[in-house]
Chains A and B, each alone.
Chain A
Amino acid sequence: MAAVPLRALSAIRAIWPLPILLLLVVVATEVAWGTGGSVTKGVVVTAMINLTLVIGLYVFVGNSGVFSFGSIGFALVGAYTAALLVIPQDQKAILQPTLPQFIAHAHLGSVGATLMGGVVAAVVAAVLAGPLMRLNGIAAGLATFAVLVIIRTVANSWEQVTNGAAGISGIPPSATTTKNEALVWALIAILGGFVFQSTALGLRLRGSREDDVAARSLGVNVRTERRVAWVASGFVMGIGGALYGQYLGSFNADAFYLPLTFLTLAMLVVGGMTSLSGAVIGSLTISFVAEFLHRIESGVTVGSLNIPARPGLREVGIAIIMLTILILRPRGLTNGRELPWPRSRPNGRAQRVRGSTTEESDVPERSGDVLNDPG
Chain B
Amino acid sequence: MQLFVQNLIDALTFGSQYALYALGIALIFGIMGLINFAHGELIMVGAYTIVLIGHPSWPVVILGTVGIAVIFALAMERVAFRPLRGASPATLLIASFAVSYLLQNLAILTEGSAPKGTSVAPWLSESFEIGSISIRKLDVVTIAVTAVLLVSLGAFLGRTRLGVQMRAAAEDFRMARILGVKANTVIATAFAISGLLAGIGAYLLVAQTGEVSPGMGSNAVLFAFVATVLGGMGSLRGAVLGGYVFGAIFEGLQAYLPTSLASYRDAFAFAAVIAVLLLRPQGLIVARSVVTRV
Instruction: Answer whether A and B touch in the complex at a CB cut-off of 8 Å.
Output: yes
Task: State A150–B222 Cα separation when bound (angstroms).
Answer: 14
Interface string of B106-126 (1 = CB under 8 A from A): 101100000000000000000
Tell me the dominant secondary structure on chain B's binding face.
Answer: helix
Chain A nearest CB from B230 CB (Å) reads: 8
Contact A374 B267 (CB under 8 A): no
Neighbour of B84 across the interface among A132, A153, A330, A364, CB < 8 A: A330
Asked if residues B85 and A372 are in contact (CB atoms below 8 Å), the reply is yes
A366 lies within 8 A of B97 (CB): no
Inter-chain contact B274/A143, CB cutoff 8 Å: yes
Give bound CA distance, A322 to B84, whole Å.
13
Stretch touching chain A among B8-16, B177-185, B190-198: B177-185
Across chains A and B, the number of contacting residue pairs, with CB separation under 8 Å, is: 180
Residues of A within 8 Å of B187, CB to CB, are 375
B281 partner, pick from A134, A147, A258, beta carbons under 8 A: A134
Question: Quick check: which of B55-63, B66-74, B136-144, B168-176 contacts chain A, the rest being far away?
Answer: B168-176
Return chain A residues, CB-CB under 8 Å to B90.
67, 269, 273, 362
Q: Cβ of A142 < 8 Å from any Cβ of B? A: yes
When distances are taken between beta carbons in the complex, the residues of chain A under 8 Å from B225 are 142, 145
Residues 267-294 of B contacting A (Cβ, < 8 Å): 267, 270-271, 273-274, 277-278, 281-283, 289-294
Taken together as a complex, chains A and B put the C-alpha atoms of A156 and B99 apart, in Å, by 29
User: B226 — nearest CB in chain A belongs to which residue?
Assistant: A142
* Cβ B98 vs Cβ A369 within 8 A: no
Checking A330, A364, A373 against B87 with a beta-carbon cut-off of 8 angstroms, the contacting residue is A330
- How many residues on A have C-beta within 8 angstroms of the other chain's C-beta atoms? 57
Cα separation A146 to B233 with both chains bound (whole Å): 17
* A310-340 Cβ-contact flags toward B at 8 Å (1 or 0): 0110011011101100110011100000000
- A146 and B218 contact, Cβ closer than 8 Å, known pairs A153-B266, A370-B173, A371-B173: no
In the complex, the answer to whether A150 meets B270 with C-beta atoms within 8 Å is yes
Given A154-B264, A327-B83, also A320-B102 (CB < 8 A) = yes
Residues of A within 8 A of B234 (CB): 366
Say yes or no: A258-B218 contact (C-beta < 8 A), given A131-B274, A156-B263, A375-B184. yes
Q: Which of B237-289 contact A (CB under 8 A)?
A: 263-267, 270-271, 273-274, 277-278, 281-283, 289
Q: When the two chains form their complex, are residues A370 and B267 in contact, meaning their CB atoms are under 8 A apart?
A: no
Given contacts A142-B277, A368-B171, contact A323 B98 (CB under 8 A): yes
7 contacts between A and B (CB under 8 A): A145-B222, A147-B270, A149-B267, A150-B270, A315-B105, A316-B102, A318-B101
